[in-house]
Structure 1
Amino acid sequence: MISMELKKYQRKVLNTIREYARLTVALGTGAAAYDQLLAQDGLFSGHGDIRWYVDDVNGAPKVCVKVPTGGGKTYIAANALHVLTEELDVKTRAVVWLVPRNEILRQTLRQLRDPSHPLRMAIDRDFSHRVEVLDKEDGLAGRGLNGPAVEDQLTVFVLSYDSFKNKDGRRAYAENSSLVALTNYQKSQGDAVEVDGADDTALITALAGMHPIVVVDESHHAKSNLSIEMLRNLNPCFILELTATPSNKSNVIARVSAQELKAEEMVKLPVIVYRRDGKTETIQDAIMLRRRLEQIAAINEEKTGHHIRPIALLQAERKGADNAATFRKLKEKLVDAGIPEEHIAIRTGDVDELGGTDLQARGCPIRYVITVEALSEGWDCPFAYVLATVANKTSRTSVEQLVGRVLRQPYAQHAKSGALNTSYVLTSSADFNATIDQVVAGLNGAGFSKRDVLADTTDTAEGVASGPVPVQGLIDELMQHQGTEDETGSEDEPDDFNDLAISLPDENAKLPESSQEVPDTRHVSIDAMIRTSEAAEAECAKSAKDDAETLAGGTTGMGDDMNTFRIRDTVADTVRNLRIPRYRLERQAGLFSDLDDAEGELFDRDSLLEHFMLAKIGTEDIRLDAMHVADAKQIDISSDSELKVRNLSDVQRRGMKELFARDSNEGRRRSAKLDLPNLMSPQVQKLYGAHGLKSFINRVVDQMSDDELEGYVDNASAYAAIISHAIKDKADAFRVREFDVERRRGDITITPDYAFPSSAYLPNPLTTLDRTLYEAEDGGMNELELQMADALANCEGIIWWHRVVERRKGEFYINGFINHYPDFLAMTRGGRLFVIETKGEQLKNDDSRDKLRLGNQWASDAGPNYQYFMVFGNSPMDIDGAYSFATFKTDFLNHL
């Protein structure tokens, strides 16, 4: 049950919504209000992960609030209705509340119509009990819908996204005599709106005439073109989106962090993942853990008066056509083990034994729910504590969709025991790493991150759990477990659960009074789980409180993001004082210069072009024949060079053809000399100088043959590309020579000055490999890069490794005659930094040679603690510093 008292973060979100609504009225547009609101927090559109405002609903203000699962986003929306109607000064107090699925539709309707539910109580309080909650059928029937009524009361239409989209939804566009009175009134007041494809008495037309506030729950499901069209047809005055995972089309104005939810006692964190030896052990321990939690809950109820009946979700595997028989077999096995049948319910896509059961009611007997993934849709019960996956050991049955179901904290208030403030996942999957990945993905989908996951891989046979550890520190231990398991056999267990032999101790065994007292050796493992979960929860709660206080500033909460990852605490000391050498331009201190100026500035490769005189560069090797033209077109499409060439428009091309048809060859040369510089990008002209570029192009045109000149009109952009890339090649060669000269002369020096940022934003985080520098590393890797990451993660001689993301702000790169972003940095236990570039077989080219040459030079200049490697999949280039992956692993990693 949601408390009527707003949490701090909920009040903060509502204040943000109020401020945005106020700004839309003052500034006139949603986009201007968005920019102004962010600016008040020192944030700017397009910077970092702050997106530009997206207007796809004809100018109606549309903003999103990001609230993780369990954060009470519907309660925020209920309280926002009064804020918005007040600030927007609406004429008709109408709300369209959109939800993605029928199950959530029924749940939302039930809550908004229940006078005792906090959602309805909040709305009744704000609107003096003058509230009408309608569904689609009510709207089609015109129930209570007339002009004066909709202006006098708050009318809330609760509808699904499909209400106007499928065949049945077309009824909302048809003529409707029940709505004639309302639509005629709207016409008389000048509020009527024409909706494309709809009758002027249709429900969609009536809703559009109300100019409603639209609440979009789980808005990440409503981004299709049909959904956007539906929103436009509703003619909203304001759209408020709510989701845990905003899409790239969402204008996020407020974010609630996982730390804030934990600090405000809204969620059961951390999630602790336990590995078990097989189905029997997983089910048996899930039952025993649930029993222990219920015993603890009884003690908690004596102290707090809050009734909690912990529920275990048993996730079976979907097999074949007769799924129901498989699930019932599991239920029979549980009953045979002594669990009363009324304590067990099957809830899958085919079987629903829960129905409308109120699982939080004191008299409800259900303690076990057998499911697959169906609970992901609208199922909500804070009493769910344990998720046990009982698929085959080699299966990867997804737990991703169910993790969010065990996060919500009962009564939005921490229990006296930390064991009741924690969520548990038990699995027998041989690929424990994959299960961890799914748990993290499930938490990401619920608005959380891998920081909220701990894992314990201890074998149950050992008796006492070693305690949960962060997911980053698992890989070595997992490999040991998996190797042992493979030796003992990898046969899949039968799918029908006939092999289960569940043996349970006395259910009434006394709970130990303290963590030092163990009543029965059969309970040792479970009691250890309880003790370690309490310790982990206490640490998580303290960390959440500290982090929430840190995030308390500002109005939007936009400075925090679940994809921002910090340097891991266990390796922070190794990088705190680390400074990686980079090249700098040496500056001599003059009479009036500051001391800092004498230390030089970070070297920029473009400074090498200071003496590059394009007017004096030869053009004799440039050919514009048909083959070169074809190559140029390909280069122009595929090259990642920043030196882009403009294409001719059809109008320009036609005009040039007409001109060339009437002109002599000399006249054509004059035209080409005038046109080609304009086809180059402003960056090209700025980099090489307009005068030098013009001189170079004039000489190229002068040496063009008559055939080349004849083909110029149809290939003008391609000619420009050939010339542009020829200039680039010549400039690159000049940079290489000049860099060597200035190094030897002492104008370029090397200084240890690069420090790692304390955190990194990763849109594609990889959380399951060990020994990372940050809590996660970038997961956008090809096959060879993943091989390298795995090798570094499993090397005892590596303290940490980091995946370099090219051109990310604050990232390290070797700043020589090219800007070289190596793929990996890795610190050895001996204090050496490995700088590693990986290359596929197809990449043995001049770019690779330049990178290898620069990398070797940089390592030599940086000193003996720095080593550069270029690692190929198989056959390396025949240059010092180039190795195959196998050789690199054998000769270097294995000798650390």
Structure 2
Amino acid sequence: MELKKYQERVIREIKTFLETLAQEQAKGNKHAAYDACKELKFSWLYHQRENGLGKDLPTFCIKVPTGGGKTLLATQILGLAYQTILKSRNGCGLVLWVTPSDQIYKDTLKALKDRSHFYRQSLEIWLSRRIEIWEKTDVHRLTPSQLQSNLNIFLLQLASTNRESREQLKFFRDSGGNIVQHFPPEDEAEAHEKLKEKITNLDMLSDELVKTSLGNLVRLCEPPVILDEGHKATSDLARKTIEGFNASIVVELSATPPKETNVLVRVSGKELLDEEMIKLPMNISNSNQNSWEACLGQARDKREELARIAQKYFQETGQYIRPMVLVQVERTGKEQEGKGFLHSEQIKDHLIQKLGIPEAAIKIKTSEKDDIEGIELLDEECPVEWIITKAALKEGWDCPFAYILVSLNNTGSQLSMTQIVGRVLRQPYAKRTPHPELNESYVFCLRRRAADIALQVKKALEDEGYEGDLASVVDRSEEGGKPQIRETRIREEYRPLYKKFEGKVYLPRFCVKEGDQYKPLDYFRHLISQVDVSKFNYAGVDWDIADDLAAARESFYRMTLGQDELERLEEKESLILETDEKVLAWMTANLPFEYFGQREIGEIAERIYERLCAVNKDLKGRLGLVKFAIKERAVGFIQRETDLQTQKAFEELFDKKRLQFYLECKECRFEILG
């Protein structure tokens, strides 16, 4: 399968990072990942992590919007890892592939087990190795010889690895089967002792006997970890669990990574749209009548219209598309029927009896009832046109034939149609058709103005990784189903003065000369990279914080209880305040300057502290009382000093005649669209 341009870009950037990381690791660098990022001059701050053995754990995220092919990228990155930092493993060993939900687990398992699927083929091309896919139910059959000669992908859900329930504890229990073969015989106490010395975090049955558990086997293998939907694994327990498996590298895939994530590469929604991966714009319509029956009727009419166009497209090209409708209801459980809420069975009956939809074309997908389990929805013989759900499709399910979302839920509630908007985004065959209607998606809503819902859909698109404004959300709620267009005409007396301009208009941009070429001026690469924090004017940190200290102490005292009664704690300040060292560590972690490394931020915090202690004699030992006030002033100080040095760097580029403001550079100039 040919990769899209943005996928090729991701692979190139990851390859550069992994090659640099491998060089740092070869030097024995204990902070290899951090220094690799620093060497590559990334504009963000790398957050270091360690695995269960105390080794540096390279952890990074690929931010890809829904529908961008995260799993395919994961297979490519896994291949790159085995050609760089894991080269010594010769394409063999164990890989831990962690999914957050049952649906994503099933889809990934199905794709990786299918030898004809391009995910599987992609891995085989990279590694030239036999690939085995294992689940928790059969991994006990894994032998040492398979581990040494094959690439073994162990697929599991995140919840299965956490020590929180009886079921999950099985993962860490003493096991039988072939698992035992990976450990020394029980009567060889010395071998067990040496193994424990090498892998220090193994679970033990006794002081001299290593537990032959699946969890321990994973620790022995120090596997690379693929973490699908990485933003689902942000809890301390999830992080510690993955680190405790002695991971050699963690690759996170997410459409919406948290702020502190090490996002190595970002893919924009526009890149997906340009590569014909998604159906946008999304058209939003509201039932003009305040009835769910009318809303369903509109959706039925739109589906039939799309089906006719799809049939025409099939006759033209042989490409088969069966437009499908997702209906979100308020209730699904048996016990919730007849309680005044729209129920899945009620909607199904209406579709059959009132709208003439064949029963075979309607399926219900809930946590209790899964009518689409095992059905190949893309097969030409498949009759499914309607899927009724509540929230079971809110993540991990992507069918490119899904064109229409009908929300019969109360869109004012937290559980609204925005949770499953992403399910209608994927473009069939990742290729636009010559029929615009088949390149867009559609949302029908009940009881709310489409203008209000547009904001909710925008939020939903952002949650799927599509950032930007409402350009891809079209209000179709007006009569006639067309967006309102305002036309402005030129007055006749002025018309002769105007003629159509056939050329292009460009705006100049600042460019920097690098050798014989010009590159667009980049704030981080050309300016921030020249900032030296050791040259900040720390002498200017002469802040008098006596009033802040007095106010903080007074407030602090009022908030504190003694053991028996309210008391003043002048003598006990040192017993309850954070140490200055802890406050400095907190400040280093919380100063909002991601383009500086942790060491640089630490140096700034330390220099500010030293200067403040010299100016304010009562500060030492009481930094915790005024840490927020000092942090606020430090932010302003750092920004001012940074601005001064970046201005100087800009002026030096200008003085050396490396800075130009012109149009010759095609990459730099900005085209004004007509």
TM-score (norm 2): 0.67
Q: Which residue of 2 aligns with 1:173?
A: 172
Change (3 A) 1:229 1:456: same
Report matched runs for 1:565-644 at 5 Å.
633-634=554-555
Q: Which residue of 1 aligns with 2:201?
A: 195
Q: CA deviation at 1:214?
A: 0.9
Report matched runs for 1:5-20 at 5 Å.
5-20=2-17
Cα distance in structure 2, aligned partners of 1:22 and 1:716: 45
8 A contact 1:267–1:409 mirrored in 2: yes
Q: Which residue of 1 aligns with 2:161?
A: 164
Which of 473, 477, 498 matches 1:454?
Answer: 473
Q: CA deviation at 1:180?
A: 2.1
Cα distance in structure 2, aligned partners of 1:118 and 1:419: 29
Paired amino acid for 2:483:
S
8 A contact 2:226–2:250 mirrored in 1: yes
8 A contact 1:266–1:412 mirrored in 2: yes
Q: Are residues 1:274 and 2:285 paired?
A: yes
Q: Are residues 1:374 and 2:380 paired?
A: no
Change (3 A) 1:62 1:391: closer
Q: Are residues 1:422 and 2:440 paired?
A: yes
Q: Are residues 1:385 and 2:403 paired?
A: yes
Report matched runs for 1:230-241 at 5 Å.
230-241=241-252
Matched residue pairs, number? 519
Change (3 A) 1:268 1:464: closer
Change (3 A) 1:324 1:158: farther
SS in 1 for 2:184: helix
Paired amino acid for 2:327:
L
Q: CA deviation at 1:429?
A: 2.6
Report matched runs for 1:537-556 at 5 Å.
none
8 A contact 1:315–1:373 mirrored in 2: yes
Cα distance in structure 1, aligned partners of 2:369 and 2:577: 67
Cα distance in structure 2, aligned partners of 1:390 and 1:682: 59
Q: Which residue of 1 aligns with 2:105?
A: 105
8 A contact 2:219–2:244 mirrored in 1: yes
1:239-295 residue CA offsets vs partner (Å, 9 max, x unmatched): 111111112342111111111111111111122222222323321111111111111
Paired amino acid for 1:306:
Q
Q: Are residues 1:53 and 2:70 paired?
A: no
Q: CA deviation at 1:44?
A: 2.7
Which of 245, 251, 257 matches 2:256?
Answer: 245
Paired amino acid for 1:348:
T
Q: CA deviation at 1:428?
A: 2.2
Bigger Rg over Cα = 1
Paired amino acid for 1:145:
T
Q: Which residue of 1 aligns with 2:352?
A: 335
Report matched runs for 1:279-294 at 5 Å.
279-294=292-307
Change (3 A) 1:636 1:408: farther
8 A contact 1:194–1:205 mirrored in 2: no
Which of 206, 211, 219 matches 2:217?
Answer: 206
Q: Are residues 1:304 and 2:317 paired?
A: yes
Worse overlay, 53-62 or 289-298: 53-62
Q: CA deviation at 1:174?
A: 2.0
Paired amino acid for 2:429:
Y
Q: CA deviation at 1:431?
A: 5.2
Q: CA deviation at 1:323?
A: 3.9
Q: Are residues 1:260 and 2:254 paired?
A: no
SS in 2 for 1:69: coil
Cα distance in structure 1, aligned partners of 2:337 and 2:392: 13
Q: Are residues 1:364 and 2:382 paired?
A: yes
Cα distance in structure 2, aligned partners of 1:188 and 1:623: 60
Report matched runs for 1:513-524 at 5 Å.
none
Q: Which residue of 2 aligns with 1:669?
A: none
Cα distance in structure 2, aligned partners of 1:119 and 1:414: 22
Cα distance in structure 2, aligned partners of 1:633 and 1:232: 43
Q: CA deviation at 1:132?
A: 0.9
Q: CA deviation at 1:157?
A: 0.6
Change (3 A) 1:807 1:283: farther
1:273-327 residue CA offsets vs partner (Å, 9 max, x unmatched): 2222232332111111111111111122223321110101111223897445622
Paired amino acid for 1:412:
A
SS in 2 for 1:329: helix
Cα distance in structure 1, aligned partners of 2:70 and 2:30: 22
RCO higher in 1 or 2 (8 Å CA, sep ≥ 6)?
2
8 A contact 2:574–2:621 mirrored in 1: no
8 A contact 1:218–1:243 mirrored in 2: yes
Cα distance in structure 2, aligned partners of 1:292 and 1:355: 28
SS in 2 for 1:17: helix
Cα distance in structure 2, aligned partners of 1:435 and 1:61: 41
Change (3 A) 1:807 1:275: farther
Report matched runs for 1:86-101 at 5 Å.
86-88=83-85, 89-91=87-89, 92-101=92-101
Change (3 A) 1:373 1:31: farther
Cα distance in structure 1, aligned partners of 2:199 and 2:609: 52
Report matched runs for 1:447-526 at 5 Å.
447-451=465-469, 453-456=472-475, 458-459=477-478, 462-463=479-480, 465-467=482-484
Q: CA deviation at 1:344?
A: 1.1
Change (3 A) 1:651 1:71: closer
Q: For the aligned residues, what is the CA RMSD?
A: 4.5
Cα distance in structure 2, aligned partners of 1:685 and 1:103: 55
Cα distance in structure 2, aligned partners of 1:558 and 1:345: 53
1:474-498 residue CA offsets vs partner (Å, 9 max, x unmatched): xxxxxxxxxxxxxxxxxxxxxxxxx
Change (3 A) 1:684 1:19: closer
Q: Which residue of 1 aligns with 2:651?
A: none
Change (3 A) 1:425 1:35: farther
8 A contact 1:255–1:558 mirrored in 2: no
Q: Are residues 1:317 and 2:238 paired?
A: no
Paired amino acid for 1:54:
Q
Change (3 A) 1:263 1:369: same
Change (3 A) 1:93 1:16: farther
Q: Which residue of 2 aligns with 1:761?
A: none
8 A contact 2:48–2:58 mirrored in 1: no
Cα distance in structure 1, aligned partners of 2:430 and 2:551: 67
Cα distance in structure 2, aligned partners of 1:330 and 1:136: 38
Cα distance in structure 2, aligned partners of 1:99 and 1:417: 36
8 A contact 1:172–1:203 mirrored in 2: yes
1:185-217 residue CA offsets vs partner (Å, 9 max, x unmatched): 997997962435355321111122112111111
Change (3 A) 1:10 1:324: farther
Change (3 A) 1:433 1:114: same
Question: In percent, how many aligned pairs have the same letter?
Answer: 29
Q: CA deviation at 1:56?
A: 4.8
8 A contact 2:61–2:262 mirrored in 1: yes
8 A contact 1:398–1:435 mirrored in 2: no
